[in-house]
Amino acid sequence: MSYDKELNGFLTYLRVERGLAKNTVQSYRYDLEQYASFLKGKGLTFTEASQSVIFSFLNEQRQQNLSARTRSRRLAAIRSLYRFLLQEGQVAADPTENLSSPKLEKNLPRVLSEQDVDLLLSQPNPGTVIGLRDKAMLELLYASGMRISEMLGLDTDHLNLDMGFVRCLGKGSRERLIPIGEVACRCLKEYLSRSRLKLRKKSYERAVFLNNHGRRLTRQGFWKILKGYAEKAKINKEITPHVLRHSFATHLLENGADLRAVQEMLGHADISTTQIYTHLSQGKLRDVYEKAHPRS
């Protein structure tokens, strides 16, 4: 059967024509391999599967107690595959056309208060090589709202600290310029002139943030650093790199920033993704109203 040929053709399309990141393509591969395994058990190929077969696959996933989010993601991967096969003339119709995605619970993102952010960012000791590096990373992450992969992917020529901007390469290789504040700029300048020179082992290394071996810091390395400072700060909330991203967006909106500007800084393709932060801001308005209004 032609599973591999069809799947590899689709994944090549995602990688080359749509420019999706390696991790995203791998996620598509994993989900579609689960679907292919189901089809093999029924003796069917991708092109032979009907809408009822796809529905049976999704129902089986539900019976395995997979979350609605996972099932929705897998249906999205299957839908993308069939749109590609239809475009290539390998199927006459899209069998996913009238299938609805599982309803997702709308979970509001976790955010830190401005006081908790201040507490977290005060934990690194800028008097040490590692402490100054960590201070610069935390300040930059909160100042820019970048994803952790975007921040750790920065090279030195992506920084324009005199102008107060960072050039960031986001999802789908989309480039954006993000303004950063005076505190983050100052910490980065100090890190680059003091700590990074001591951490760097090879003169041609371009990564901004380096580990003890002089190489680009990894996601796992940063997670460990962040967890350590969160424990040191005794903040009784789960803190992840994305929580800082959520906090960045929420605090901007709470202080009057324009939604479109926040969308641009976060690198969201669709403004509806950014609008979830307005719910958090509206929640704060409700708290203010209830505390301040005499008849609340």
Catalytic residues: 147, 171, 242, 245, 268, 277
The tokens describing 237, both together, are 């909330």
Terminal-to-terminal C-alpha distance of the chain: 67
Name the nearest CA neighbour of 117 among 282, 249, 12: 249
Query: Rounded to 10 degrees, what is the CA torsion of 201, 153, 162, 146?
Result: -140
Contact 121, 143 (CB under 8 A): no
**Residue owning tokens 């990373």:** 137
**What is the number of residues in the chain?**
296
Contact 262, 277 (CB under 8 A): yes
Q: How many CB atoms lie within 10 A of CB 54?
A: 21
> How far is 245 from 235, CA to CA, in rounded Å?
17
